[in-house]
Amino acid sequence: MTEQVPTADTVTPTGETLNVLHKRFKKAVRQDDRDGYDGILIDPARLVEVATAARDELGYDYLASATAVDYLGKGDHLEMVYHLCRTSGGPALVLKAQTPRENAELPSLTGVWSGADFQEREAWDLMGIRFTGHPNLKRILLWEGFDGHPLRKDWREAYYEADQKPFDSRWPDGHVRRAEQDNPYGKNVRYPDGFVLDEYQSTAEDALYADVALGLDVSADLATERVVVSMGPQHPSTHGVFRMIVTLDGERIEALEPVMGYLHRNHEKIGERNTFLQNMPYTDRLDYICSLSNNLGYALAVERLMSLGSRYEPPTYRAEAIRVLMAELTRIVNHMWAIGFLLNDLGAFFTPMMYAVTERELILDFFEATTGSRMMCNYMRFGGVAHDIPDRMRSEASLINDRVRDENTMEYLHKLINERLPRAIDQFDEYLTTSEIVTNRCIGVGVLSTADAIAASAAGPVLRASGVPYDVRRADPYSIYADLDFDVAVRYHGDVYDRYLIRLDEMRQSIRILKQVWPLLMDTGGQPFFAGRGGIYSPRVPAGESYGRVENPKGELGYYVVSDGGQNPRRYHVRAPSFINLTALEQMCKGHKVADVVAILGSIDIVLGETDR
């Protein structure tokens, strides 16, 4: 089922919104007049009131992203940046609130949008902003005994060498060396002052179980069937690095708390030390099923900053057509993978997954021929793409009887788009959609209502399966999507079954888009695949802020980037759909049985590289 949605033409610009808010809140709101910045600065004491008015009176019902920024040396304050959207469509309204770095504190917006929950916990964990009124403010990506808040500009880790790359000392006189060689073994971790490892007693587990045990003393002998259990991280359905603390009454779920961070490596800290271009391959590692879509969101964010300069040239039409081609093929790769693993989670081990892998491999053959890689493609560039599509797809023989490929690339794409992929999607539909096992295990399970999905900042198939036809490609178009004819897929029951169906719908819409892109590629053959001459590989990005967002297969992927005018970002934040979509997991699981939890988690379709970053 599909539905057309309104686009940006109906949305109130920030200036008019500011006037409306100023009439009511007077000096509590003002325009952010810093060069290269946009949005509205809010007096923290009135933040909840202004946010509520933006939601209820101005229609900004969806909290897309909440980002913390450290302005050490530039005002010496911390800042929270909220991107609010209308599910009816349009660009984001940006609200900001500032707090002193010492004793940083802001009111929580969890009472306005439950989707602020994990995002505020992340800001507390990594930046040290305390949110008054938050119902469960504790670390979310780091362990409870971690020393400090690592995204602050004055935080230093073991082996610290410099704030930004390239590090001068790594290539002295032409000889590479590693900083670790200068540090004694065992000093590669830092503990709080006065910390004694032999005397340490972890409080993390007590805190987790206290939140979900419903007053039960789990250390006592239990004369009841109510019990608290840990699902994961050593559990196949949680991918080895995710955990759920579950309170059970028999086999029925009474409470559930997601526990993450086992794969956290402070992606954003790395991103702020890299140059802008050095971050491109790091985006591949977020949702490692969707590296090309990840590349595109980051490229858009940096290009919007670059457009503030006088020398910026936008990507060519051919470059944009190639980008959309790669993004929509990636959507099909992801959704086939997601459906295959959902069936795995339902107990249909491997067979559906193998059907999905077969078609996925055909797409990855094209990715490899074009980008040089099957998974970590590192292909987008600021101003276009790294290479054009090759004329032919070639392979070399490794063994005596190897089949050697040598095909025309555009003919291969034509067959893939018009024959193989549509047939595979129809095959999935035929085999699975009316299967008694699928319908019994999925219909009515893990229901998320429309209002709850919006409040929880759910995105992608999770949001659209709950009756919200919100898709960034239509709501706030980017690249050449405004020129293409496609519908936003939407379903209305909000259960596991509709989250399965929505992915079938979206793959069919992707085929519809690809059939329009293929002729564009034929018509633009020979045209440049990037804009301008030079500069795209190591740009100096004008000072300012930008938020680049794309409709990734798992939902809205956003990059909030702040530049000081050099080659390195001051702030680099990832709005990860896998992370935020987990906000509603407990709500979807309550009242169901343990076996249903596995299916519900599978229907969200998370990837832990993106969840933990």
Nearest to 212 by CA among 151, 259, 168: 259
Looking at residue 331, its amino acid is R
* CB 592, CB 600: distance < 8 Å: yes
Which two tokens mark 179? 């900083």
**Average pLDDT of the segment spanning 477-504:** 94
Give 548-575 pLDDT, tens digit per residue: 999 999 999 999 999 998 888 999 999 9
Parallel/antiparallel/unpaired status of strands 252-259 and 243-249? antiparallel
The more confidently predicted of residues 375 and 160 is 375
Nearest-10 crossing angle of helices 14-25, 47-56: 120
The predicted structure's pLDDT at residue 310: 79
Distance of CA 160 to the CA centre of its chain: 28
CA 211 – CA 223 distance, rounded (Å): 21
Q: Is 95 helix (H, G, I), strand (E, B) or coil?
A: strand
* CB 335, CB 503: distance < 8 Å: yes
Residue 460 burial (C-beta neighbours within 10 Å; 0-12, 13-18, 19+): buried
> Using CA atoms in the order 230, 232, 237, 239, what is the torsion angle rounded to 10 degrees?
160
* CB 135, CB 110: distance < 8 Å: yes
DSSP assignment string, 233-244: SSSGGGTTS-EE
* CB 312, CB 468: distance < 8 Å: no
pLDDT higher than 50, residue 11: no
CA 450 – CA 467 distance, rounded (Å): 6
pLDDT higher than 60, residue 3: no
CA 498 – CA 201 distance, rounded (Å): 45
Q: Is 480 helix (H, G, I), strand (E, B) or coil?
A: coil
Which two tokens mark 80? 């929270």
Residue 250 burial (C-beta neighbours within 10 Å; 0-12, 13-18, 19+): exposed
- Give me the percent of the chain exceeding a pLDDT of 70: 88
Beta bridge partners of 2: 489
**Average pLDDT of the segment spanning 290-298:** 93
CATH 3.30.460.80 for the 14-132 domain, yes or no: yes
The region of weakest confidence among 224-228, 244-248, 497-501 is: 224-228
Nearest-10 crossing angle of helices 351-371, 317-345: 160
Residue 363 burial (C-beta neighbours within 10 Å; 0-12, 13-18, 19+): buried
The more confidently predicted of residues 427 and 192 is 427
- Topology of 267-612 in CATH? Cytochrome-c3 Hydrogenase; chain B (1.10.645)
How far apart, in Å, are the Cα atoms of 542 and each of 71, 135, 531?
A: 17, 39, 18
pLDDT higher than 80, residue 597: yes
Give 334-345 pLDDT, tens digit per residue: 999 899 888 888
Q: Is 400 helix (H, G, I), strand (E, B) or coil?
A: coil
CA 363 – CA 421 distance, rounded (Å): 9
Please give the sequence-ordered ranges of beta strands (E in DSSP) within 382-515, or none if there are none.
384-385, 392-394, 406-408, 488-489
Nearest to 471 by CA among 249, 462, 409, 527: 462
Q: Taking the CA atoms of 58, 471, 237 and 589 in sequence, report the sign of the dihedral they define.
A: positive
The predicted structure's pLDDT at residue 18: 85
303 confidence band (pLDDT: 50, 70, 90):
very high
* CB 411, CB 399: distance < 8 Å: no
| Most confidently modeled range among 76-85, 174-183, 306-315 | 76-85
The residue ranges of every structural domain in the chain are 14-132, 211-259, 267-612
The predicted structure's pLDDT at residue 231: 83
Give 69-84 pLDDT, tens digit per residue: 999 988 889 999 999 9
The more confidently predicted of residues 104 and 345 is 104
Give 112-165 pLDDT, tens digit per residue: 999 999 999 999 999 999 999 999 899 999 988 888 899 999 998 777 777 777
* CB 216, CB 226: distance < 8 Å: yes
Beta bridge partners of 131: 106
How far apart, in Å, are the Cα atoms of 287 and each of 370, 507, 578, 585, 613?
A: 20, 18, 9, 19, 9
User: Could you count the other beta carbons within 10 Å of the beta carbon of residue 612?
Assistant: 22
The predicted structure's pLDDT at residue 184: 56
* CB 569, CB 272: distance < 8 Å: yes
pLDDT higher than 50, residue 26: yes
Give 424-437 pLDDT, tens digit per residue: 999 999 999 999 98
Give 237-262 pLDDT, tens digit per residue: 676 788 888 888 888 898 899 999 98
Q: Which residue has the tokens 């009816």?
A: 88
Beta bridge partners of 484: none
pLDDT higher than 90, residue 294: yes
Nearest to 276 by CA among 304, 318, 317: 304
Q: In which element (H, E) is residue 519 found?
A: helix 496-523
The predicted structure's pLDDT at residue 528: 85
The predicted structure's pLDDT at residue 532: 66
* CB 561, CB 577: distance < 8 Å: no
pLDDT higher than 70, residue 221: no
CA 566 – CA 382 distance, rounded (Å): 15
pTM: 0.88
171 confidence band (pLDDT: 50, 70, 90):
low
Q: Which residue has the tokens 């290009």?
A: 303
Indicate the average pLDDT of the chain. Answer: 86
**Average pLDDT of the segment spanning 382-389:** 90
Distance of CA 570 to the CA centre of its chain: 20
**Average pLDDT of the segment spanning 196-205:** 70
> CB under 8 Å to 419, separation ≥6 — which residues?
none
